[in-house]
Structure 1
Amino acid sequence: MLPSIWFLLWGLLWAVYFMLDGFDLGLGVLSPFLAKSETDKRIIYNVAGPFWDGNEVWLIAAGGVTFAAFPTTYAVMFSSLYSALMLVLFGLIFRGVAFEFRGKVDSPGWRKLWDAALFVGSFLPAFLLGVAFANIFAGIPIDENGVYQGTLFTLLNPYGLLGGLLFLMLFLVHGALWLALKTEGELQERAGAAAKALWWILAGVAVAFLVATWYATRLYMNYIKNPLLFSIPIVLIPVVTVGALFATRYFAGKANWGKAWVSSAVTIVGATFFGVAGLYPNLLPSSINPTYSLTIYNSSSSPLTLKIMLTVALIFVPIVIAYQAWTYRLFHPKVTQEDLAYEEAY
């Protein structure tokens, strides 16, 4: 029971991270295309500014849970996907530095440098996390000793690249909707138009990914073979996800940006859970031989460790949620040109 509970929490932490950090990653990629002036750029920075570092707490939590609850999986995952994950890490570093350094020197060249760092530092994590998870769904070439039999380019296969494109499109739509929700005037109009246009690309990529998943992975067969995955809550995941995807476009068409963003968030969480649930009980399936796969049973920590971790999580996760809810509530007003005059503004 405890390994299954931690498998669920592991998937939940990744889903929450994608939902929250997804919009500011999307904003970073969209910034060069939606910002037409220095004021627009600063507004975009300040739209994401109060939230981006808090959102990354969930990435640390997801990595920490992998390390503590499933240490063997952590070791194999971070050695197998080392190159891709290091690129993600450097991207996140460049992005964080861009937020803090851009306004330190009054020079157009200096600002362009950090604008480029924001773009690259947002694009790499958004795309490569999708590549990584798509490869996990398809299976990683690990042998009986957990040794990765491949290179970085092994991960850049057609299905992995399609997964990267899916994540990128999810985050772009999510970010455009957040910008439309948090701004007004021409910038809001451009963001809303971008969200509606990008939705059609997202829908097409999502269909292509679902079709490719049938041929490239065992996710669908795992749903069929595992009775637990046919419980009512699990079966509803793809239904709710598809419904939320169409609701995103519907509410965007009505310029109801708040409901459109929430629908987009549900889409991201649902899509993550669809893939994670399809893995159960595997954490890292082996594409060489299914018997070499790492599961929640052969890679988990001791029952005592899982019990202690569950107690700690039940205490501190609600505190983190309450803090972030307070942050989002505090900074919920739209960002306007007048806000840029504050000393704390980016």
Structure 2
Amino acid sequence: MDLPTIWFVAIAVLWTGYFVLEGFDFGVGMLLPVLSRGTDPAEREADRRVVINAIGPVWDGNEVWLITAVGAMFAAFPVWYAATLSGFYLPLLLIILALIGRGVAFEYRGKVDDARWRARWDAAIIAGSAVPAFLWGVVFANIVRGVELGPDGVVTSRLVDLLSPYALLGGLTTLTLFVLHGAVFLALKTDGPVRHRAGVTARTAGPVALVALTGFLLWTGTAHGVPAVPAVVTVAAVLAGVVLALRRREGWAFTATAVGVAAFTATLFGSLFPAVLPSLVSPAFDLTIANAASGPYTLGVLSWIGAVFLPVVIAYQSWSYWVFRRRVTRAHVA
């Protein structure tokens, strides 16, 4: 493969890592009120702390994958980066604001011992998880579908154009898929009432995610074409995750949903290749890995940087997951 193709694959891998890891983060955040429904306020608060502490040591590290993916797009495909960030300005702005609010909420929630104070930050966590979970699906569905892109590389699509039924289904797909992924993660990572409720939620959310996912992939395949292998793996892995959750095989269930999210991301990028941003105006105006890439020297330098630092990042994050591998219970937050 030439360097532009290698970097297209590398960016796909970075986005895959982000969606697999941040995906369960988003799911956990959205499930915060669902998994803390006890009648006693003290027990509800303890369960909410269990849910938050389950991702407390890792959520900010998971966001590094987003920074790296966007940085790689900027360096390797600056035209793609410019067109995407300008064309999807409002959805991406909402995502960034939601992520900022979510990060602040994690840090400030416990600063004041007041129920109303915590409730406000809990709302920020829930919204800061749900908004990106939905809008990332909208954005990537539009990237696969294409936008109003002229010969000057400027996207002229309006907001209403970005909210087509296909894009909204894409948002629903990522939202429900991340809810399932987060529920399975919590069933694996916690114990006690939260673990039980997470298992029940996973078994409830699974069929909804499967329906949305299958519908979106069928629509994508019919309208734009999808690579068959990752699409089949996506559905099979998510189905396996649901079945394993029913059988309370939590470790394997989480592995299956992680594979499902990864295969789903691979399907989206496989549907794009060799384009990076199709044009609805004319195929002649498509941005491709050839006409949107940086020069060979820049890509060569990036390759050396990636070869040195990416293994370090992966090793550090793997170590952090290993250190904080134990289940979280009410006893840990008492």
1:34 counterpart SS class: coil
2:33 counterpart SS class: helix
CA distance in 2, matches of 1:32, 1:287: 41
Partner of 2:276: 283
CA distance in 1, matches of 2:270, 2:214: 19
1:114 counterpart SS class: helix
Partner of 1:231: none
Partner of 1:66: 73
1:104 counterpart SS class: coil
- What aligned pairs does 1:88-103 form with structure 2 within 5 A after superposition? 88-103=95-110
1:79 counterpart SS class: helix
1:238 and 1:271 in contact (8 A); partners too: yes
1:339 counterpart SS class: helix
Partner of 2:168: 161
Cα deviation for residue 206 of structure 1 reads: 1.3
Q: 2:300 aligns with which of 307, 325, 336?
A: 307
- What aligned pairs does 1:5-44 form with structure 2 within 5 A after superposition? 5-36=6-37, 37-44=44-51
Cα deviation for residue 322 of structure 1 reads: 0.4
CA distance in 1, matches of 2:7, 2:281: 26
Which one-letter code corresponds to 2:24 in the other structure? F
Cα deviation for residue 238 of structure 1 reads: 2.7
Partner of 2:248: 255
1:143 counterpart SS class: coil
1:103 counterpart SS class: coil
Superposed CA offset, 1:21-66 (max 9, x none): 0001111111111212011111111011111000000000100010
CA distance in 2, matches of 1:139, 1:238: 20
1:86 counterpart SS class: helix
Q: 2:181 aligns with which of 171, 174, 184?
A: 174
Q: Runs of 5+ in structure 1 lacking a partner?
A: 224-234, 342-346
1:4 counterpart SS class: helix
Which one-letter code corresponds to 2:313 in the other structure? V
TM-score normalised by L of structure 2: 0.96
CA distance in 2, matches of 1:326, 1:108: 35
Q: 1:236 aligns with which of 229, 234, 245?
A: 229
2:210 and 2:235 in contact (8 A); partners too: no
Partner of 1:219: 225
Partner of 1:203: 210
- 1:273 equivalent in alignment to 2:274: no
Between 1:299-308 and 1:144-153, the stretch displaced more is 144-153
Partner of 1:140: 147
Cα deviation for residue 146 of structure 1 reads: 1.5
Cα deviation for residue 149 of structure 1 reads: 1.6
Partner of 2:290: 297
2:325 counterpart SS class: coil
Superposed CA offset, 1:173-213 (max 9, x none): 00001111111122111100100111100111112112221
CA distance in 2, matches of 1:218, 1:29: 31
CA distance in 2, matches of 1:138, 1:150: 12
Q: Runs of 5+ in structure 2 lacking a partner?
A: 38-43
- What aligned pairs does 1:102-141 form with structure 2 within 5 A after superposition? 102-141=109-148
Q: 1:77 aligns with which of 72, 84, 96?
A: 84
Cα deviation for residue 249 of structure 1 reads: 1.6
CA distance in 2, matches of 1:236, 1:134: 19
2:213 and 2:235 in contact (8 A); partners too: no
Which one-letter code corresponds to 1:12 in the other structure? V
Partner of 1:184: 191
Superposed CA offset, 1:155-178 (max 9, x none): 111000000000001100000011
CA distance in 2, matches of 1:149, 1:9: 28
Superposed CA offset, 1:136-164 (max 9, x none): 11001111111222222221110000000
Partner of 2:4: 3
Which one-letter code corresponds to 2:22 in the other structure? D
